[in-house]
């Protein structure tokens, strides 16, 4: 026993420790291709996920843009006319533009949205106006037509309340739609002239120039610049027969007559509406 004990005293410490499990093998190293493709796949999956979410939000974004621009316009007009008149005026603008929007959809064109610009009005974006001069005329006249009907709906209210507020709002709505019928692009009257008599674009441009000289203001100046450029550009392309312009402006006489009847009828109705709703103002009223 003493000999065995003496022998064990000289054994190294490792002899008394239990046997350890072998260390695990290191994981295989990813190749260069896997190292770079994995993050790319993860990024693509994330982009696909968020891209779908953005696509779902796009229609809401258009609504938010329209609503925000409407609120900004109301605030801007309220500084001049007060909030009641501003709300009514922007509502009439909205109905006018909805006429264009609805007709664009009927022509098979998907509008991109509606935007309101203070003191310049509003506009519906679209890549096309229907593919023909007749479709363009229908789109152009749909705005004043629906806008005039909405404005005419204010007449019973003005008569029942005997309130000059409603008469003034109706007068402004009639004037807005009548002004848009000036026969110069990009106004609605210029759209109608595409199917009736494109040479009238230059008559409309001359009328705008006269208005600028008599009552110079930034809006008329902008319309004159846009109208002059657009009239010249479209007339030049039409005379040159470029890009199928001959087919674009080919309109049957019956359709041409119908567009003319709607155009002239709107002008007469709007002029009568302005006369009925005109409110005499004096310096004491101001």
Are 263 and 240 spatial neighbours (Cβ–Cβ below 8 Å)?
Answer: no
The count of structural domains within the chain is 1
CA-wise closest residue to 219 among 208, 230, 228, 210: 208
How confident is the prediction for the chain on average, in pLDDT?
A: 79
List, for residues 222-231, the tens digit of each pLDDT value.
Answer: 888 988 888 8
Task: Give pTM, 2 decimals.
Answer: 0.73
User: Could you tell me if residue 218 is inside a domain?
Assistant: yes
- What distance in Å separates the CA atoms of residue 286 and residue 284, rounded to the nearest whole number? 6
User: Could you tell me if residue 161 is inside a domain?
Assistant: yes
Task: Give the per-residue pLDDT at 267.
Answer: 95
For residue 199, the enclosing domain spans 40-277
List, for residues 150-175, the tens digit of each pLDDT value.
Answer: 999 999 999 999 999 999 999 999 99
User: Could you tell me if residue 134 is inside a domain?
Assistant: yes
User: Could you tell me if residue 209 is inside a domain?
Assistant: yes
**Could you say which DSSP state residue 242 is in?**
G
Task: Give the per-residue pLDDT at 88.
Answer: 95
User: Could you tell me if residue 18 is inside a domain?
Assistant: no
The three-class DSSP label of residue 279 is: coil
List, for residues 21-61, the tens digit of each pLDDT value.
Answer: 555 555 555 544 444 445 544 444 444 444 444 334 444 44
> Taking residues 99-117, what's their average pLDDT?
90
Check whether 210 has a pLDDT greater than 80. Answer: yes
Phi, psi of 115 (to 5 degrees): -130, 135
Token output for 15: 């002899």
> Taking residues 257-267, what's their average pLDDT?
95
**Could you say which DSSP state residue 186 is in?**
T
Task: Give the per-residue pLDDT at 34.
Answer: 47
* pLDDT tier, 126 (very low <50, low <70, confident <90, very high otherwise): confident
Are 138 and 130 spatial neighbours (Cβ–Cβ below 8 Å)?
Answer: yes
User: Could you tell me if residue 152 is inside a domain?
Assistant: yes
User: Could you tell me if residue 30 is inside a domain?
Assistant: no
- What distance in Å separates the CA atoms of residue 111 and residue 131, rounded to the nearest whole number? 14
User: Could you tell me if residue 14 is inside a domain?
Assistant: no
Phi, psi of 100 (to 5 degrees): -65, -45
The residue count of the chain comes to: 286
């Amino acid at each position: 026993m003493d000999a065995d004990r003496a022998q064990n005293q000289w054994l190294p410490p490792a002899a008394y420790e239990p046997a350890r499990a072998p260390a695990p093998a290191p994981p295989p190293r990813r190749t260069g291709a896997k190292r770079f493709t994995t993050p790319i796949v993860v990024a693509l999956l994330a982009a696909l996920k968020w891209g779908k979410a953005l696509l779902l939000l796009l229609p809401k974004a258009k609504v938010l843009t329209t609503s925000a621009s409407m609120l900004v316009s109301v605030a801007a007009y309220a500084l001049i006319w007060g909030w009641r008149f501003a709300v009514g005026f922007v509502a009439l603008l909205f109905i006018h533009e909805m006429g264009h929007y609805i007709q664009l959809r009927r022509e098979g064109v998907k509008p991109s949205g509606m935007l309101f610009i203070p003191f310049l009005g509003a506009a519906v974006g679209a890549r096309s106006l229907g593919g023909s001069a007749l479709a363009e005329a229908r789109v152009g006249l749909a705005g004043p037509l629906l806008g005039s009907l909405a404005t005419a709906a204010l007449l019973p209210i003005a008569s029942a309340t005997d309130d000059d507020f409603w008469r003034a709002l109706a007068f402004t709505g009639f004037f807005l739609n009548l002004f848009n019928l000036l026969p110069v692009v990009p106004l609605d009257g210029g759209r109608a002239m595409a199917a009736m008599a494109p040479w009238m674009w230059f008559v409309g441009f001359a009328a705008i120039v006269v208005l600028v000289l008599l009552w110079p203001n930034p809006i008329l100046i902008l319309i004159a610049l846009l109208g002059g450029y657009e009239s010249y550009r479209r007339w030049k392309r039409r005379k040159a027969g470029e890009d199928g312009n001959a087919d674009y402006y080919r309109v049957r006489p019956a359709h041409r007559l119908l567009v003319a009847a709607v155009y002239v009828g709107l002008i007469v109705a709007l002029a009568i509406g302005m006369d009925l709703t005109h409110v005499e103002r004096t310096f004491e009223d101001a």
